[in-house]
Structure 1
Amino acid sequence: MIDSYHYDITEYSAGGFGVKPIRSIREVPLTIRINGREAVTLLCTAKYPKELAVGFLKSDAFLQSPEQITALEVEEDDERIVVDVEVCHDPWKNRTVERSITSGCGKGTNFGRNVSTISRRRIGGDVRVTPQQILSLVDELHRRSTLYGATRGCHNSSLCTPEEMLLFREDIGRHNAIDMICGQCFLKDMSVDDKMVVSTGRVASEILLKVLRMGVPVLVSTAVATRFSVELARKTGITLIGNVKDDSFWVYNDPGRLIRE
């Protein structure tokens, strides 16, 4: 699948203009329909459309169990992707559609989200991780980020144990990359209470809520966290680490999962 396109552009550098070949990342709309009704349209690179669609629906509480899915079809062309998800329950029952502008990609649609209710949840999991393991995993995330290196136009997320990286996903939005991981874990019924999410990009509240809904106890990012995310992490018991550099990072919240060597 093509994930980027080649262009010749004009670059101004060192006091003059010249022609520079670049690669620009692919961006296409992906519409998710559930039982024939549109749920949302996301903007993405078109990688892993099934996992992205299912991960989004799981994250927004349309799905509680993989057994609810009766059919999953993808229609794709150069300009658009449609993922049709058929389920055996009424996913729209007792739901209200709330539209808000979030810091991520897509329509900015939140479906009946209730942060006060979600934040009452306490995350479990007994995963323990050392500072060196965190730095090593972030280093591997950077090494795998070849599409970012070519285009400078995407975010990267991964599912890890303290010892190894299990899944790596990249997309124009960090929301999409995390939803791809969520969707694969959901479809494969993978246990996540002993795992970590290691990602690029600012940790806004919607990112922390996605990780919380997945049930992953540790979230690590190369960027910083917002105040709301820090407060949610402390209320829910997520270990939240950000601003990871070559030999340093910030610990916003840790209820005992970080091994202090």
Structure 2
Amino acid sequence: MQKDITYHQPIIKYHDGHFIEQTDNIATEFPLTLYVNQQEFATIVCSPTHLKELVLGFLASEGVIFRQADVKDIHLDDSKGFCHITLNRDIEQHYGHYTKRMISSCCGKSRQFYFVNDAATSKVSMTTTKITADEIFRMMKALQEESTDFKQTGGLHNAAISDGKDFYIHRSDIGRHNALDKLFGYCIQQRIPIRDKVLIFSGRISSEILIKASKIGVGIILSKSAPTDLAIRLADDLNITAVGFIRNQSFNIYSHSERII
């Protein structure tokens, strides 16, 4: 049975000179350990929703799988926090040697392997998609309206994929990478081509997020927050349009502005 993304915690709130007993909504933090071909592969600290999507998206972004057909079986035991994945091939033959890793929700541990396979799994965008300013504002508004769990807890990242018009799917997670992996996994499950899609994101566009977007294959990333300098340089190199500070009928275009019309 899938766990809840939030739980109710009794707290004491101080407000206007008074202590008040009440209940607060807290984001659930859930460790999920992945075993690939019976070998321990990684532990992801995540929100306990859409876990199969998360597993598929994570393995695809790491270059372990390329399509749904690469996976023979996924057995998820979310009561104990384990997921056993059997591939249709030997991971060692096609991808080299892996060791156990802890991937935290804040992504702080990701730097230990961040540059190992980025060159092999990142993609230079070939998208020809173009979007208007009105579509940018509409998509960001839709993301914020869908972010009900964030409004309750203040502790989740939100992301969505759209074609700029009709297609729209939203996912939340305590880990910003995880939210993107869930979207990637959903598209793999549904066999949805991603190259012409737009990624809408609630948080800062860091270099890690830009790399993750390139691994997914999108050509446009929209955020209500700021990018980092390295993210901008990577976006320029990988032919990705990065748009930030989308708020109050204003935004900044940091790279490949030709896609915004």
CA distance in 2, matches of 1:100, 1:43: 8
Residue in structure 1 matched with residue 32 of structure 2 by the alignment: 30
Give the C-alpha shift of residue 100 in structure 1.
9.9
- C-alpha contact (below 8 Å) 1:131/1:258 kept by paired residues: yes
What value does the CA root-mean-square deviation take over the aligned residues? 2.3
- TM (norm. structure 2) is 0.90
- C-alpha contact (below 8 Å) 1:217/1:239 kept by paired residues: yes
- TM (norm. structure 1) is 0.90
CA distance in 1, matches of 2:109, 2:30: 13
- Which of the two has greater helix per residue? 2
Question: Structure 1: where are the runs of 5+ without partners?
Answer: none
CA distance in 1, matches of 2:82, 2:103: 23
Residue in structure 1 matched with residue 161 of structure 2 by the alignment: 159
- C-alpha contact (below 8 Å) 1:159/1:168 kept by paired residues: yes
CA distance in 1, matches of 2:177, 2:114: 16
Give the C-alpha shift of residue 112 in structure 1.
6.5
Give the C-alpha shift of residue 188 in structure 1.
2.3
Q: Which moved more, 1:54-63 or 1:161-170?
A: 161-170
- C-alpha distance 75-117 of structure 1, shift in aligned 2 (>3 A): closer
Give the C-alpha shift of residue 52 in structure 1.
0.2
For 1:256, what is the secondary structure of its paired residue? Answer: helix
CA distance in 2, matches of 1:226, 1:101: 22
Could you tell me which amino acid in structure 2 is paired with residue 113 of structure 1?
V
- C-alpha contact (below 8 Å) 2:244/2:252 kept by paired residues: yes
Give the C-alpha shift of residue 116 in structure 1.
5.2
Could you tell me which amino acid in structure 2 is paired with residue 219 of structure 1?
I
The number of residue pairs the alignment matches comes to 256
Residues 1:47 and 2:68 are matched in the alignment: no
Could you tell me which amino acid in structure 2 is paired with residue 175 of structure 1?
H
CA distance in 2, matches of 1:102, 1:38: 16
| Identity rate, percent | 29
Give the C-alpha shift of residue 257 in structure 1.
0.9
Residue in structure 2 matched with residue 95 of structure 1 by the alignment: 96
CA distance in 1, matches of 2:31, 2:202: 22
Give the C-alpha shift of residue 195 in structure 1.
0.7
Give the C-alpha shift of residue 249 in structure 1.
1.2
Q: Deviations over 1:35-56 (max 9, x none)?
A: 0112211111210111101100
For 1:213, what is the secondary structure of its paired residue? Answer: helix
For 2:72, what is the secondary structure of its paired residue? Answer: strand
Residue in structure 1 matched with residue 81 of structure 2 by the alignment: 81
Q: Deviations over 1:66-85 (max 9, x none)?
A: 221111110121xx421111
Residue in structure 2 matched with residue 146 of structure 1 by the alignment: 148
How do residues 207-226 of structure 1 correspond to structure 2 at under 5 angstroms?
A: 207-226=209-228
Structure 1 stretches of 4+ with a deviation exceeding 3 A read: 96-107, 114-119
CA distance in 1, matches of 2:53, 2:104: 22
Residue in structure 2 matched with residue 113 of structure 1 by the alignment: 116
